[in-house]
Structure 1
């Protein structure tokens, strides 16, 4: 059971995340300072830095958490499952749990608006992509482990993960910039896009006349 002190620390961390995201959404990431975030929660700048290295870390906290939860769920899937099926099934299975995890920290609509902020803020988008590349490499190694191949010798794990995560990023851009962005919209768009992965890679498209 989490102790009182730990719960208090978590509440402070979560309050900083919510305050930061509200400021990023309303006045922009670049225009927001650490002092403003700390002031919104009525804590000192020093307290902010106990929880986060900088405002980039607080801005990307939820996105990084979601990626970590997905990776952990992939690792828990049955080893005999085909790699692409594993990646797609995990996404569908953990969607609701991820939504709950996000909502325990911040309202979902604020999370979705923050996704839009990341997409239109070059420095945040670059940082998000850097972190995602590290997570992709972990997925590559997990796919290689599950299939019994050496990712340094066999290109298939990296090709698969690159294709899958590329589709995921494309879907995220599509739903996050829609005026009706919601968790259900995100789920539908993501399902539609990932469902096209196998046909796009393995089917004969034929020629358009």
Structure 2
């Protein structure tokens, strides 16, 4: 019993250390710039060694995308949990919009939402982070495409539809993020509403006539 209690305390301390390092990293990235921030500065802000930082993160990029990795994992899980009768695009749409509160809780379990939102803008304005964001997004999209193929009982290697659907959905999400990050309403509710609006326009944007008579 005592051993289990000690282990619990140890895990709690590790979690607090990781959260402190993550918050310090994002604060520094968003205030003085990603490229200008060193691992030593992050560690020093938490009064720990550089070695301690590397126990929790592979490097600066790993810390920069830690919360995003959590939200993307939550989204993949939400898609997997959608009812089997939903069409692929609808399953992804509902996974985002109906799972918004769960996504918020995922963020809040790690860092303040406001800090997470500021980090979005930093990613968009930092070439190295934007490139990493696109690379990571491509990997997540491949995971979702394979998940959709499994849901629909098709071969992802032979049937292009899973990857096409995910490419369209991922493109909408990137347009949404970019529009939100350059707008005036810097809130989580604003990006949720914008996401819903953009997803609602996918059908008409792809198949409709844009010209007015």
Same fold (TM over 0.5): yes
Structure 2 CA distance, aligned partners of 1:100 and 1:193? 23
Structure 2 CA distance, aligned partners of 1:206 and 1:112? 33
- TM-score, normalised on structure 1? 0.95
Alignment of 1:136-175 (within 5 A): 136-175=141-180
Structure 2 CA distance, aligned partners of 1:207 and 1:109? 40
Q: Which residue of 4, 14, 20 corresponds with 2:9?
A: 4
Q: Which residue of 1 aligns with 2:41?
A: 36
Unaligned runs of 5+ in 2: none
Structure 2 CA distance, aligned partners of 1:146 and 1:163? 18
Are 2:99 and 1:94 equivalent residues in the alignment?
Answer: yes
SS at match of 1:3: helix
> What CA deviation, in whole Å up to 9, does each residue of 1:34-83 have, x standing for no partner?
00000001110000000001001001111111111100111111222111
Q: Which residue of 177, 184, 194 corresponds with 2:189?
A: 184
Q: Which residue of 2 aligns with 1:65?
A: 70
SS at match of 2:162: helix
Q: CA deviation at 1:197?
A: 1.3
SS at match of 2:98: helix
> What CA deviation, in whole Å up to 9, does each residue of 1:129-175 have, x standing for no partner?
11111110011011111111111111111111000010001101111
> What CA deviation, in whole Å up to 9, does each residue of 1:82-123 have, x standing for no partner?
111101011111111111111121111111000000001011
Q: Which residue of 200, 204, 207 corresponds with 2:205?
A: 200
Structure 1 CA distance, aligned partners of 2:112 and 2:210? 46
Q: Which residue of 122, 126, 133 corresponds with 1:128?
A: 133
Q: CA deviation at 1:206?
A: 5.8
SS at match of 1:185: helix
Unaligned runs of 5+ in 1: none
Please report the RMSD computed on the Cα atoms of aligned residues, expressed in angstroms: 1.4
